Amino acid sequence: MTEVRGPLEGLVVADFTRVLAGPYCTMLLADLGATVIKVEGPAGDETRNWTPPVRDGEATYYLSVNRGKRAITLDLDSPDDLATAQAIAARADVMMQNFKPGSLSKFGLDYDAVHEANPGVVYVSITGFGAASALPGYDVLAQAVSGLMSVTGDPGGEPTKAGVAIVDVVTGLHAGLGALAALRHRDVTGEGQHVEVNLLSSALSALVNQSGAYALAGVVPQRMGNDHPSIFPYGPFPTADGDLVLAIGNDMQFGALCRTIGVPDAAADARFARAADRNRHRDELRPVLVSALAERSAAEWAGVLGAVNVPCAPILGMDDAFRWAEGAGLDPVVTAGGVPGIRNPVSFSQTPPAYPLAPPAPDADRAWVEEFLARG
């Protein structure tokens, strides 16, 4: 019954979430030592059925965000199961849920009811578009209405979603940050509180300079493909055998780039010498760089430019990305109960993450949860 030690050892998280934002957040908390009890309805977490791909017959989507948890299946329409759900909430330091706004009230699992039974609880609600909106909280909808899709894709092409449910992921991180901040407040005051996050607000925050351009200057950003609105060169450029990504963030880097690829005069050209000038004259600078980069392969340029500290990188597939991370000493893959997954991205010198439990099968830990509740 002993949980693995970690910076969140002793913290109990009642996880009433499903799909991605909530489960991703609670998995990271579990990695750091929290005891996470995953409560599913009879139909189970939707991602258990989101296939392909699969590993040993289980959806990799589900497996990727649910390690480290204890699972119990509860039908909230059953009085006995509802009592168990309420008991879990009453024991929790953190309760996290992403039900439709207001739908938990009839079960006595809304914030007011849980707070009355458990005054110290940090109750985290994840919604799609805030408590007043009935729009379902799907990531692609948030990408659409936040403006993210409007700035993603080729100029003149279709608005494009990101290649992963990035708004869900960012919202999960915001939920974790909010929960830990509220726990710090509880440490000082003894008071729990209600923490609310939503996909739309998280997306607008994550759009940083793009949303900031509108809020600060009234500028409506447009799709620019792989170009950056404020920096050039910053993105992929063709070489003799494929694209190489350049990330030139200052004038010194630009000078080193020009000298190394054989166009030193470009660094002194008044049109290109300063970052703001390069941005204004990108259409004139681009062919100069493309012509020079055509002389060597992407791999050759990466080696030569890297040696003089010019930021650049190849565009890799997922398989090569893992090999690249391994070569950098990052060891991206860990094993949790025999099931591989992605390492928690946070490192600690004293209390590192641990991965003792595989993603649980439905209702796999009913006996464990019942014993946990019986201990009081």
Domain ranges of the chain: 12-208+332-374, 234-319
Q: Each residue of 7-24: b (16+ CB within 10 Å) or e?
A: ebeebbbbbbbbbbbbbb
Packing angle of the helix pair 139-146, 199-206 (nearest 10 deg): 50
Confidence of residue 154 (pLDDT cuts 50, 70, 90): very high
Within this chain, domains 12-208+332-374 and 234-319 share the same CATH topology: no
pTM: 0.94
Distance CA 36, CA 34 (A): 6
**Catalytic residue flag (residue 75):** no
Q: Are 295 and 245 in contact (CB under 8 A)?
A: no
Residue 174, token pair as written in the block:
């915001």
Q: Which among 118, 108, 101, 103 has a CA at the least distance from the CA of 12?
A: 118
On the 0-12 / 13-18 / 19+ scale of CB atoms within 10 A, 288 is middle
Q: Classify domain 12-208+332-374 at the CATH class level.
A: alpha beta
Q: Is it the case that residue 4 has pLDDT exceeding 70?
A: no
Q: Which CATH superfamily is domain 234-319 in?
A: formyl-coa transferase, domain 3 (3.30.1540.10)
pLDDT tens-place string over residues 51-104: 999 999 999 999 999 999 999 999 999 999 999 999 999 999 999 999 999 999
Confidence of residue 134 (pLDDT cuts 50, 70, 90): confident
> Which pLDDT score, from 0 to 100, does residue 342 have?
98
Distance CA 313, CA 325 (A): 13
> Which residue in the list 15, 45, 139, 168 is annotated as catalytic?
168
> Which pLDDT score, from 0 to 100, does residue 1 have?
42
Q: Is the preceding peptide bond at 53 cis, omega within 30 degrees of 0?
A: yes
